[in-house]
């Protein structure tokens, strides 16, 4: 399977703990995006990378959130001191600059539950 993969698929944690998610994009894609989807809502943009450079961060991304893409391939999203309001589906997507006018390919998501 050469699509976008995310790990873990599910994560249950206690409030105050740190969690880290991983995303592996489609191999030739230079852009990687993180979105968050809460119940009954559409996904909301969090941040994105072009190669290893983080180009934009949403206001939704508080100081407790950090994302990296150190070698321009996979990316990690870390949430420190988790809160119950962080419970959501975290989606990763990738794309190729200039191809298909913005089409992004999504992974299956990591569902986070903070108790």
Partner 1 sequence: GNSVTQMEGPVTLSEEAFLTINCTYTATGYPSLFWYVQYPGEGLQLLLKATKADDKGSNKGFEATYRKETTSFHLEKGSVQVSDSAVYFCARLRDDKIIFGKGTRLHILP
Residues near partner 1, by CB under 8 A: 31, 33, 35, 40-45, 48, 55-56, 91, 93, 100-109
Minimum CB distance to partner 1, residue 15 (Å): 27
- 3-state SS string for the chain: CCCCEEECCEEEECCCCCEEEEEECCCCCCEEEEEEECCCCCCEEEEEEECCEEEEECCCCCCCEEEECCCCCCEEEEECCCCHHHCEEEEEEEECCCCHHHCCEECCCEEEEEC
CB of 89 to partner 1, least distance (A): 9
Give me 47's structure tokens.
């941040």
- Please name the residues in contact with 62: beta carbons below 8 A apart, sequence gap of 6 or more: none
Minimum Å gap between C-beta 106 and partner 1 is: 4
Which CB sits closer to partner 1, 50 or 80?
Answer: 50
In the complex with partner 1, the residue whose CB is nearer, 23 or 79, is 23
Residue 50 or 87 with smaller CB distance to partner 1: 50
Shortest Cβ 54–partner 1 spacing (Å):
13
Q: Give the nearer residue to partner 1 in terms of CB position, either 10 or 15.
A: 10
């Amino acid at each position: 399977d050469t699509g976008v993969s995310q790990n873990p698929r599910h994560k249950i944690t206690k409030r105050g703990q740190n969690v880290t998610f991983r995303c592996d994009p489609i191999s030739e894609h230079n852009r990687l995006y993180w979105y968050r989807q809460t119940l009954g809502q559409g996904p909301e943009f969090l941040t994105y990378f072009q190669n290893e450079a983080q180009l934009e961060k949403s206001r939704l991304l508080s100081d407790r959130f950090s994302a990296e893409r150190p070698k321009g391939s996979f990316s990690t999203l870390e949430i420190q001191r988790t809160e119950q309001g962080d419970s959501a589906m975290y989606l990763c997507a990738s794309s190729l600059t200039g191809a298909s006018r913005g089409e992004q390919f999504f992974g299956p998501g990591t569902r986070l539950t903070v108790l």
